[in-house]
Amino acid sequence: MKTLSKGFVIVASRNSNFYTYAVNLMESIKDFYPEALITLVTEERFIDERADEADQIIFCDNHYRAKLWGMSQSPYDITMYVDADMDCEHEDIAKVWDELGDRDMVFHELTPEREKFYAIREFRYDGGVEKYTLCGGVCLYRSGNPLVREFMEDWFELFNKQHNNMWMPEGFEKQQWDRDLKHFDQTTLWWLTEKEEKYKDLKIGIFRDDIRWNYFTQYGYEGLKSIEGKPPILRHYSGSLKKDVLIV
């Protein structure tokens, strides 16, 4: 039986700070998991010696959501995508592959208690109220499955259309769409997982004790903790970093 290749994908584009975050993330993963395979998706102009930490480098352009393109380019059979502005803090990172089980994709969950830290969670659709439930900050996925790979490609392409006013499905309210929804890849993710017939058989789940896999620093403000009482594995600094201000 073929051994499945497993690796991390990290994307840093558009802003050189993300490259700095990505280098830190790669090194922090390897601090705890030296054998980890990592693919860095980044712009050629950012590359310096520190990129040697990556096992593979894929060049991307400065797209606003190069992340989605990068996810579709994974060279592995099983991929753990991690947002660049995260830091690995625990050796359980090496056990990430066990989280997939028989599922195709595994995410961090947007729950009501975490709601206040997200830009938007609820939105109006088809006369009712719908919710984003999946957070794309981390995603463990079976990239060797052609349907999952197609999903990732569609996620990127559909988001492009959405962002460029070329796609807005019926059922959404135009005003809210323009103001809150069209800029978010979450919206595309919701559509693909909830409404797209082609993907209805994909097995999508949530990490066990998922807070450990995407611990937003703001969770600490409310004292949100792991249900098993364990420390975070990946801490997410989204929201606290000044991404557009040069680090040095």
Partner 1 sequence: MARTWLDNAFWETPKKEILNAISEEQVDNKQIRQVHKLNKLNEDGSPNELFNEVIEFLGEEQIEASTKKRLEKKQAEAELEKQKKLEQERSKKLEKLFEYKLETFEIPEIKESKNRLLKSKLRRSKSIPEVNLYAMMIVKESVEDENIK
Nearest distance, CB of residue 34 and partner 1, angstroms: 9
Angle (CA) 46-41-138 rounded to 5° is 125
Per-residue burial over 91-119, b = 16 or more CB atoms within 10 Å of its CB, e = otherwise: ebbeebeebbeeebbbbbebeeebeebee
Least CB distance to partner 1 at residue 228 (A): 18
If one counts every other C-beta atom within 10 angstroms of the C-beta of residue 46, the result is 21
Please report how close the Cβ of residue 93 comes to partner 1 at its closest, in angstroms: 14
The CB-of-138 to partner 1 minimum distance in angstroms stands at 18
**Is residue 99 part of the contact set for partner 1 (CB under 8 A)?**
no
- Is the CB of 165 or the CB of 240 nearer to partner 1? 240
Query: Which ranges constitute the DSSP H helices of 81-184?
Result: 146-163, 174-176
Run of H or E including 124: strand 122-125
CB atoms within 10 A of CB 1: 3
| 236 touches 211 (CB < 8 A) | no
| 28-87 binders of partner 1 (CB under 8 A) | 28, 31, 48-50, 87
Q: How far is the CB of 11 from partner 1 (least distance, A)?
A: 18
User: What is the H or E stretch that residue 56 is in?
Assistant: strand 56-59
Q: Which stretch binds partner 1 (CB under 8 A): 127-135, 149-157, 175-183, 212-220?
A: 212-220
112 binds partner 1 (CB under 8 A): no
Pick from 122, 222, 227, 230: which binds partner 1 (CB under 8 A)?
Answer: 222
Residue carrying the six token digits 């840093």: 12
Tokens 């922090």 locate to: 28
Q: Which of 13, 24, 74, 193 binds partner 1 (CB under 8 A)?
A: 24
Residue 220 as a binder of partner 1 (CB under 8 A): the answer is yes
Q: How far is the CB of 245 from partner 1 (least distance, A)?
A: 10
The number of helices, as runs of H, and strands, as runs of E, in the chain is 5, 12
Q: Which is nearer to partner 1, 19 or 191 (CB)?
A: 19
150 or 222, CB closer to partner 1?
A: 222
Residues touching partner 1: how many (CB under 8 A)?
A: 25
Stretch that binds partner 1, among 105-113, 124-132, 174-182, 234-242 (CB under 8 A): 234-242
Segment lying near partner 1 (by CB under 8 A), choices 23-31, 61-69, 93-101, 104-112: 23-31
Residues 6+ positions from 214 with CB-CB distance below 8 Å: 86, 108, 135, 137, 138, 207, 234, 236
> CA 130 to CA 122: how far, in whole Å?
6
Binding residues vs partner 1 (CB under 8 A):
20-21, 23-24, 27-28, 31, 48-50, 87, 217-223, 235, 237, 240-242, 247-248
